[in-house]
Amino acid sequence: MITDVRRLESKRTLVTGAGGGIGRATALRFASEGARVALLDVNEEAIGETAELLDTVDGQTIDLLADVSQEPQVAAAIDRVLAEWDGLDVVVANAGIELQGRDAAVDALDLEVWQSIVDVNLTGMFLTCKHAVRALRAAGGGALICTVSPTSLYALGPGEHAYSASKAGVYGLMRVMAADYAGEGIRVNGVMPGFTATPMNDPVIANPGELEEVLANVPLKRPGTAEEVAAAMVYLASDEAAYCIGGTIVVDGGMTAV
């Protein structure tokens, strides 16, 4: 634990994409801050690994096997949390995919690849938020945090047009939700990781030439860690962020500052 203050004591939280990378680090950090954490992921083995790690910080968890692009699965997952915990206070809509080597510039992009990426990254985000809002509203308010990306705003994913477009959609969705739900006590915000050392980026990190190319645009000259991103999630999930609506915390080593 980073501080002695448990900033999420007694909060009922749900993290999508909790089986790996940023989602796993967020789930672990939330638990160490006193939260109960529901772990949603499409990969059952990965959820199990996160749940085992959570045991070490004595976290109370619910494992939710679901694909965020499938509405009945998302609805059932949220319903299960509501039934077991009688409410939900924080949702981190984080699950996403990047199909490196298959995503491409539009003139070379297969419709099937476009659809797969948009289904998870944008439709999956919409479905998570749709059912999260219903749960948070029933609790009288709460926090909804969307993982966005520098590619939401800038042409930083050369050749990855489907990924970049899906993340731009997420950014737009996050802001319009923030404006529309603020009056109901639902605080919607974004966290924008830069190039982060997670399984998603293993292929780049394993390739020194490619890594050097990416880090050339990062003033800090190293990838971020999933734990550094999770720290921003904790702030936005906590009551200390009461006046934060529709904002984005950038955790990118300066990538978007230059």
Ligand X SMILES: NC(=O)c1ccc[n+]([C@@H]2O[C@H](COP(=O)([O-])OP(=O)(O)OC[C@H]3O[C@@H](n4cnc5c(N)ncnc54)[C@H](O)[C@@H]3O)[C@@H](O)[C@H]2O)c1
Active site residues: 163
Q: How far is the CB of 66 from ligand X (least distance, A)?
A: 6
Q: How far is the CB of 200 from ligand X (least distance, A)?
A: 4
According to DSSP, the β-strands at 36-41 and 142-147 are unpaired
Q: Is 120 in the site for ligand X (CB under 6 A)?
A: yes
User: Does residue 66 contact residue 40 with C-beta atoms inside 8 Å?
Assistant: yes
Q: Is 142 in the site for ligand X (CB under 6 A)?
A: no
Closer of 128 and 238 to ligand X (Cβ) = 128
Q: In this structure, what token pair is assigned to residue 194?
A: 């830069």
Angstrom distance (rounded) from CA 160 to CA 137: 36
Closer of 32 and 198 to ligand X (Cβ) = 198
- What one-letter code names the amino acid at 147? T
Number of residues in contact with ligand X under rule CB under 6 A: 29
User: Does residue 131 contact residue 113 with C-beta atoms inside 8 Å?
Assistant: no
Indicate which single residue of 7, 14, 15, 19 sits in contact with ligand X (rule: CB under 6 A).
19
Binding span for ligand X by CB under 6 A among 35-43, 100-108, 133-141, 213-221: 35-43
Q: How far is the CB of 171 from ligand X (least distance, A)?
A: 11
Q: Which helix (H) or strand (E) holds 190?
A: strand 186-193
Closer of 136 and 251 to ligand X (Cβ) = 251
Q: How far is the CB of 8 from ligand X (least distance, A)?
A: 20
- Chain centroid to Cα 187, Å, comes to 15
Q: Is 238 in the site for ligand X (CB under 6 A)?
A: no
Q: Is 225 in the site for ligand X (CB under 6 A)?
A: no
User: Does residue 78 contact residue 88 with C-beta atoms inside 8 Å?
Assistant: yes
Angstrom distance (rounded) from CA 16 to CA 39: 7
13 burial level (CB within 10 Å; 0-12, 13-18, 19+): buried
Q: How far is the CB of 16 from ligand X (least distance, A)?
A: 6
Angstrom distance (rounded) from CA 103 to CA 225: 24
Residues 40-99 close enough to bind ligand X by CB under 6 A = 41-43, 46, 67-69, 94-97
Q: Which helix (H) or strand (E) holds 228?
A: helix 226-237
Angstrom distance (rounded) from CA 209 to CA 186: 44
Q: How far is the CB of 13 from ligand X (least distance, A)?
A: 16
Q: Is 201 in the site for ligand X (CB under 6 A)?
A: yes
Biggest alpha carbon–alpha carbon distance for the chain: 53
Kindly list the residues in this chain that would bind ligand X in the complex (CB under 6 A). 16-17, 19-23, 41-43, 46, 67-69, 94-97, 120, 124, 147, 149, 193, 195-196, 198-201
